[in-house]
Amino acid sequence: MEPPEDREGRSFVEVINEKYSPENFPYRRGPGMGVVVVPTAGLQGSPMKDRLNLPSVLVLNGCGISKAGDQAEIAAFCAHVMELDLSHNNLQDWQEISKIASSIPNLEFLNLSSNPLAGTILKPQCAETFSRVRRLVLNNTQISWDTVMLLTQNIPVLEELFLCLNEYSSVSASSVACPTLRLLHITDNSLHDWAEVGKFGSMFPSLDTLIMANNNLASIQDNEDILARLFPNLRRINLNNSGLNRWEDIEKLNFFPKLEEVRLQGIPLLQPYTKAERRNLMIAQLPSVSQLNGSVVTDSEREDAERFFIRHYLDCPEKELPFRYHSLITKYGKLEPLAEIDLRPRCRAQVEVHCEEKVEQLCIRLDQTVAELKKQLTTVVQLSTNSMRLYYIDKDSAFGPEELKYNNRALHSYSIQDGDEILVVPKTNKGGVSC
């Protein structure tokens, strides 16, 4: 059954009746299958409740919902529902959202993303209806910061809050903290000033994870004491695509006493470096961080990075040396620059070509095959390629000549060096390797 094209003014009750009706959802499945049959004992008011199969996780995104409908019906259908996704609907009245939430007694997760909530007024008595929600998603709703604060003050169990794409450039501090919040996801806003970020610390003292990528944050301005006091429990921070462009800002990340995981991709500071250099320099600057940009930092990787860091700053003037350099010098001492070793395979070798009584000095290409070498030697030894056998003699080896019998094998695979010999034996000569 196709839903009607006109979704204006549709209610929550209408949508669940339609989506979970026997015509669209005909099979009742047992426990463990992800679908729960609403119990009917003691529930009144809905002729549909005996026939609806509702999961405990309801996804009703993009259904054109703008109002709640009969609250008794919602209570009858949704007594067991724990997670509700209402994103991309047309909800623009907190009173209607409150009716839905208050009728779902076990609601722990609520997603209201991309509903037009800009300028809507949330009354305190409505905010109280969300008191059981642990995870709240308000991305791209354009709700005011005052509304956010009213919600956090009235949800005593709130643990995760998502506020992406809401165009916040500043936030106001709240006199009432939200001590339960552990994760704040506030990416893709317009927070440029660290003073605004610092307010999160006082509002959310138990904050464990702060994700604020794509905010063009200019710098980290607070000192060690303030950062330690504001963010005593922060373990993870994501500053991808921020505007950080000073190593001093990276060093300040060490002032978060419990910080373990950092994401710092796409920042101006790191643009001049290669991918390997970026990772090495960041690891060396952040000794307590165990995971960088999603990858675990091993002990051996940290040691290599710290040694790289010392060598990177060897020629730097004393007054420009970062603080971390001196602590690493104490740990490893002053290191010599690494020798530059060319590990590319040799391209050519100068060899002696022996054929009977004839000896010629010849420069040969090592990227060519045995067959190509034979062709090169035809003019030197006056033999056709079919009339010669080639032997390679390693000047430093105690072993005898090695026949170059495989025409398609590349010469560099024999490890031929300058001064080695190539012995050409005419096939008509039955003396083997002596001419």
List the CATH number of the domain containing 411.
3.10.20.90
Higher pLDDT, 314 or 161: 161
Q: How confident is the model over 397-427, as pLDDT tens digits?
A: 878 899 998 999 999 888 899 999 999 999 8
Let me know whether 265 and 129 are in one domain.
Answer: yes
- The answer as to whether 282 is a domain residue is yes
Token couple for 91: 């909800």
Let me know whether 218 and 280 are in one domain.
Answer: yes
Residue 392, domain extent = 348-426
Q: Can you give the length of the chain in residues?
A: 435
Let me know whether 282 and 390 are in one domain.
Answer: no
Nearest to 126 by CA among 93, 104, 159: 93
- The answer as to whether 92 is a domain residue is yes
Let me know whether 186 and 288 are in one domain.
Answer: yes
Token couple for 40: 């009917």
CB under 8 Å to 180, separation ≥6 — which residues?
A: 156, 157, 158, 159, 206
Q: What pLDDT is attached to residue 125?
A: 93
User: How far is the CA of 22 from the CAs of 16, 48, 60, 383, in angstroms?
Assistant: 11, 10, 17, 89
CATH of the domain at 182: 3.80.10.10
Q: How confident is the model over 55-69, as pLDDT tens digits?
A: 899 999 999 999 999
Nearest to 289 by CA among 247, 240, 236: 236
Tokens 């998502």, residue? 162
For 169-218, strand residue ranges (E) read: 183-185, 209-211
- The answer as to whether 322 is a domain residue is no
Q: Could you tell me the pLDDT band of residue 335, with boundaries at 50, 70 and 90?
A: confident
CB under 8 Å to 307, separation ≥6 — which residues?
A: 332, 335
* Global confidence as pTM: 0.72
Q: What pLDDT is attached to residue 314?
A: 86
Rounded to whole angstroms, how far apart are CA atoms 316 and 293? 28
- The answer as to whether 312 is a domain residue is no
DSSP state of 410: B
Tokens 């001492």, residue? 333
Number of neighbours of residue 316 by Cβ within 10 angstroms: 11
Let me know whether 129 and 219 are in one domain.
Answer: yes
Alpha helices for 144-223 (secondary structure H): 145-154, 194-203
SS3 65: strand
Let me know whether 57 and 133 are in one domain.
Answer: yes
Number of neighbours of residue 280 by Cβ within 10 angstroms: 22
Q: What pLDDT is attached to residue 53?
A: 66
Alpha carbon 282 to chain centroid distance? Answer: 16
Q: What pLDDT is attached to residue 172?
A: 94
CB under 8 Å to 161, separation ≥6 — which residues?
A: 135, 136, 138, 148, 152, 181, 183, 184, 185
Percentage of the chain beyond pLDDT 70 is 87
Rounded to whole angstroms, how far apart are CA atoms 175 and 431? 101
Q: What pLDDT is attached to residue 22?
A: 64
CB 263 within 8 A of CB 293: yes
Q: How confident is the model over 174-221, as pLDDT tens digits?
A: 889 999 999 999 999 999 999 999 999 999 999 999 999 999 899 999
pLDDT beyond 80 at 40: no
Let me know whether 272 and 381 are in one domain.
Answer: no
CB 199 within 8 A of CB 176: no
CB under 8 Å to 87, separation ≥6 — which residues?
A: 61, 62, 111, 112, 113, 114, 115, 137, 139
- The answer as to whether 418 is a domain residue is yes
- The answer as to whether 118 is a domain residue is yes
Q: What pLDDT is attached to residue 315?
A: 83
CB 89 within 8 A of CB 113: no
Let me know whether 65 and 207 are in one domain.
Answer: yes
CB 420 within 8 A of CB 393: yes
Rounded to whole angstroms, how far apart are CA atoms 9 and 275? 52
Which helix H or strand E contains 372, and what residues bound it? Answer: helix 370-381
Structural domain total, the chain: 2
Q: How confident is the model over 109-159, as pLDDT tens digits?
A: 999 999 999 999 999 999 999 999 999 999 999 999 999 999 999 999 999
Q: What pLDDT is attached to residue 8?
A: 58
- The answer as to whether 257 is a domain residue is yes
Percentage of the chain beyond pLDDT 90 is 71
Q: How confident is the model over 337-362, as pLDDT tens digits?
A: 665 555 666 788 999 999 988 999 99
Let me know whether 290 and 393 are in one domain.
Answer: no
Let me know whether 275 and 376 are in one domain.
Answer: no
Q: Could you tell me the pLDDT band of residue 24, with boundaries at 50, 70 and 90?
A: low
Q: Could you tell me the pLDDT band of residue 163, with boundaries at 50, 70 and 90?
A: very high
Q: Could you tell me the pLDDT band of residue 74, with boundaries at 50, 70 and 90?
A: very high
- The answer as to whether 66 is a domain residue is yes
